[in-house]
Amino acid sequence: MCGIAGLVSKTNVNQGLYDALTVLQHRGQDAAGIVTCDEGRLYLRKGNGLVRDVFQQWHMQRLTGTMGIGHVRYPTAGSCSSAESQPFYVNSPYGITLAHNGNLTNANELREEIYREDLRHLNTTSDSEVLLNVFAHELQALGKLRPEAKDIFKAVEGVHRRCKGAYAVIAMLTGYGMVAFRDPHGIRPIVVGKRELQDGGDAYMLASESVAIDSLGYELLGDVEPGEAIFISLDGKVERKQTAEKTQKNPCIFEYVYLARPDSMIDGVSVYKARLRMGDHLAEKIKREWKDHHIDVVIPIPDSSRTSALQVAHHLGVKYREGFIKNRYIGRTFIMPGQSQRKKSVRQKLNPIELEFKGKNVLLVDDSIVRGTTCSEIIQMARDAGANKVYFSSAAPAVRHPNVYGIDMPAAQELIAYERTTADVCAEIGADDLIYQDLKDLVTSVREGNPNIKEFECSVFDGHYVTGDVDASYLSRLEIARSDQAKVQDLNGMQGESAPIDLHNGS
């Protein structure tokens, strides 16, 4: 899960990209980067940390230009090193920079192809650099001194033929323009917006979520469709083309459960309304299966479960209360490496309001349960605050399978519901009772916003991988590469790493 943004305008885009990345910060807190293009010259700043920490005033002043792309990251492929942060750059052809959200499932095979057949060198372990070099090779193979939109679309067609998995991409061709494209299944989101400039003409923006489009005052034009490519030239001309032979819209349903902000629209579906409907369905299941439970209060686990919890409380006819106060300066805990660090972060992130728990039967509502570390700590916090009974509910089904498309859920053994029943998970997290959303109700909750979506990417719940190229051996290799142990080793290996630098402008 990462956040990407791109701007083409007639004025400097540095501040706009910075603002867009701060709005998309929830999609990645590990690293951030911005590259701009000014009269054929690139200016880059990237490094580990939050947007506000990576970019200081002197960095922003040096990021000049009317076209640029930005990226916020947490690592699902590659390491946590600042060398792995994006955007990535390759000088040939034309000078291309690229930001990518997703994960290539055939990255290892492509690395071998790139070395032996394309004769290109890779400098990192990131699959995003693999994707960049595939795109660059396909574009270079056309042999055009000055590429046109049709040439760029031809290169994207080559990317679709060679790359498998999930990818939402924004790439910038130095001195020519910007291209965005999405994998043929449309697993990861990307939208496009337009704003009329005061001096005439239009500025265009691309982003992972519509909230970035809205916050910068752009008009949302819609989604980049699965397999589609959009080219925006430096003078603001926009061309679009379907570049994949076969497409099927299979957006990741976990975007609606947890990843996206509630004020975003993804593939025509309001994330906020989808979460309201998740609460409706969850409440109906609770009323069916928990007839004898006496719930005094419904309390959400902030922030992404609030919307669903409101509906649960409404349908159950009980009080809704904010029982936990959140420290906004702690990152998302399920993506932190190491169980001990996650446990510590939960206590730092949330603090209970005792009067909302003392002597009450409490129903806690969370968006999902992944590793179980967070919810078990929260349940204990509720008991310590004096709760009589603590019931736990999840607005999503049990997460039992790894994710291979860009979400940090790679190791099945690290998932608390893996090979466990609901009763087993309930005992493990220490709740008095536990209830999950049914998958069919989750799908219905999201599909109601756009009935044209026939099938969602639901692999973490049902183990079905829509790209059709994921088997047991692949999952085994992925698990080893991205286990908690591997992440901790990687973090230890970063000690003493040198600070990032700005291209052309010094550090």
Which residues are known to be catalytic? 2
Contact, 195 vs 218, CB < 8 A?
yes
Q: Which two tokens stand for residue 171?
A: 């790439």
State how far the Cα of 60 lies from the Cα of 335, in Å rounded to an integer: 29
Cα 202 to Cα 189: distance, rounded to the nearest angstrom: 23
CA distance 282 to 396: 9
- String of DSSP letters for 401-438: S---SSSS---GGGSTTTT--HHHHHHHHT-SEEEE--
Asked if 151 and 139 touch (Cβ cutoff 8 Å), the reply is: yes
As a whole number of angstroms, the distance between CA 418 and CA 436 comes to: 14
The span from the first CA to the last CA of the chain, in angstroms, equals 28
367 annotated binding-site participant: yes
SS3 label, residue 43 = strand
> What's the gap between Cα 279 and its chain centre?
22
List strands edge to edge, sheet with 433-436: 319-320, 297-300, 361-366, 389-394, 433-436
For residue 13, give both structure tokens.
């885009």
- What is the 3-state composition of the chain as percent helix, strand, coil, each rounded to the nearest 5? 35, 25, 40
Nearest to 86 by CA among 146, 120, 132: 132
CB 170 within 8 A of CB 99: yes
Residue 177 token pair: 């323009």
Crossing angle for the helix pair 271-289 and 439-447, nearest 10 degrees? 150
433 marked among binding-site residues: no
Query: Residue 176: what residue type?
Result: Y
CA 264 to chain centre: 13
Taking only Cα atoms into account, the Rg of the chain, rounded to an integer number of angstroms, comes to: 23
CB count within 10 Å of CB 340 equals 12
- What is the C-alpha separation between 360 and 243, in angstroms, rounded? 57
What are the tokens at 331? 């990152």
DSSP 252: B
CB 264 within 8 A of CB 251: no
At residue 442, what are phi and psi to the nearest 5 degrees? -65, -45
Q: What separation in angstroms does the CA of 38 have from each of 35, 93, 206, 395, 504?
A: 10, 18, 19, 47, 12
366 is in an annotated binding site: yes
Per the structure block, which two tokens stand in for 67?
Answer: 């076209």
Q: What's the rounded Cα separation, in Å, for the pair 31 and 29?
A: 6
Annotated binding site for Mg(2+): 304, 366-367
